[in-house]
Amino acid sequence: MGLDSPDDAGVYKLNEETALIQTLDFLTPVTDSPYEFGMIAAANSLSDVYAMGGEPITVMNIVCFPSCDLPEEVLAETLRGGLDKIHESGATLVGGHSVDDPEFKYGLSVTGIVNPDKVLTNTGAQKGDAVILTKPIGTGVMATAIKARLASKENIEEAVAVMSMLNKGAAGIMKEYTIHSCTDVTGFGLAGHLLEMAKGSRKDILIHTEKVPLLKNALDFANMGLVPAGAHKNRKFFEPLTRIDPALDRAAVDLMFDPQTSGGLLISLDKNQARAFVEKMKTIGQEAWIIGEIKDESITGFLQLI
């Protein structure tokens, strides 16, 4: 599985029992705290392996660091945050590479494994499936509010907690259910990743916008116009395939296109299993939300926001 159909990671079958999953991601800082940034960047990089139904095995650090402008301690704290998340994932750090660069960036290359018959893609959604999301959205709007110094301490803490949470727990629970398709929500925003699922699965998707979980105050900030440029770019790019109920609030729609850092898993599964999945997430202290359904067969795959 590679470049012909866009998915979260590359998959290479080694033998009947094992396929390799390979992915690479890195970010520029999203918080003032280097330790938190390290956790978030690592969780973000590991997420694509979970989205493919796999388990991360080994990781390597990738670092671009402005050694003349920032103290070495910033790098050490970032790597410490990353390592804590690597340990939590159960993967082993086996190396890495760093270069001097004017703009600080950190992330991981991740190698995972999966049973070749259990690979989850964004192409398998079936008519009548429920669509589940495992983290609230709004991190792009929140980052804009943080830069504008309008976000409260509570807002920042919630965003950091959401972004640094591994998708490991949700991925483990997916193994107990018949999952038809899965991806994670990142830069294209919820709507963009839904459209990739719609296109890949050749189905229309209906989303009940009011059921989509949002970070606290994200809607207020979006109403104030604190919407990142990336959200407008996403909207422009994905709008031709999106049917938006004209009665929807503009800020609520903007949030559907808000680019996410280290977002949750987006899952389609038999609607009869959806409630049980949500309840099971509570048993590990996490949440999941049923936000919509997979509709009819369709050549392009439309997204309908109501």
Please give the residue ranges that form the binding site for Co ion (CB under 5 A): 8, 25, 48, 97, 184
Written as one string, the DSSP assignment of 108-122 is EEEEEEE-GGG---S
Q: In what order do the strands lie in the sheet with 19-27?
A: 10-13, 19-27, 105-114, 55-65, 92-100
Q: Nearest approach, Cβ of 223 to Co ion (angstroms)?
A: 29
Count Cα atoms within 13 angstroms, Cβ side, for 133: 25
What is the maximum span of the chain, computed from C-alpha positions, in angstroms? 57
- 35 alpha-carbon distance from chain centroid: 20
Cβ nearer to Co ion, comparing 98 with 298: 98
Cβ nearer to Co ion, comparing 38 with 264: 264
Cβ nearer to Co ion, comparing 156 with 196: 196
Distance CA 61, CA 106 (A): 7
Distance CA 133, CA 277 (A): 11
From the CB of residue 198, how many other CB atoms can be counted at a distance below 10 Å?
A: 25
**Nearest CA to 108 among 26, 39, 50?**
26
Cβ nearer to Co ion, comparing 44 with 217: 44
From the CB of residue 141, how many other CB atoms can be counted at a distance below 10 Å?
A: 32
Which residues contact residue 298 at a Cβ distance below 8 angstroms, ignoring those fewer than 6 apart?
198, 202, 203, 204
Residue 164 structure tokens: 């640094």
**Nearest CA to 141 among 207, 214, 194?**
214
Q: Nearest approach, Cβ of 187 to Co ion (angstroms)?
A: 8
Cβ nearer to Co ion, comparing 22 with 304: 22
DSSP state of 137: B
Q: Nearest approach, Cβ of 81 to Co ion (angstroms)?
A: 19
Q: Nearest approach, Cβ of 122 to Co ion (angstroms)?
A: 9
Cβ nearer to Co ion, comparing 184 with 254: 184
- CB-nearest residue to Co ion: 8
Cβ nearer to Co ion, comparing 145 with 185: 185
Cβ nearer to Co ion, comparing 119 with 251: 119
Q: Nearest approach, Cβ of 184 to Co ion (angstroms)?
A: 4
Written as one string, the DSSP assignment of 8-33 is SSEEEE-SSS-EEEEEEEEE---SS-
Q: Nearest approach, Cβ of 4 to Co ion (angstroms)?
A: 17
Q: Nearest approach, Cβ of 293 to Co ion (angstroms)?
A: 22
Q: Nearest approach, Cβ of 8 to Co ion (angstroms)?
A: 3
Query: How many residues are given for the chain?
Result: 306
- 89 alpha-carbon distance from chain centroid: 16
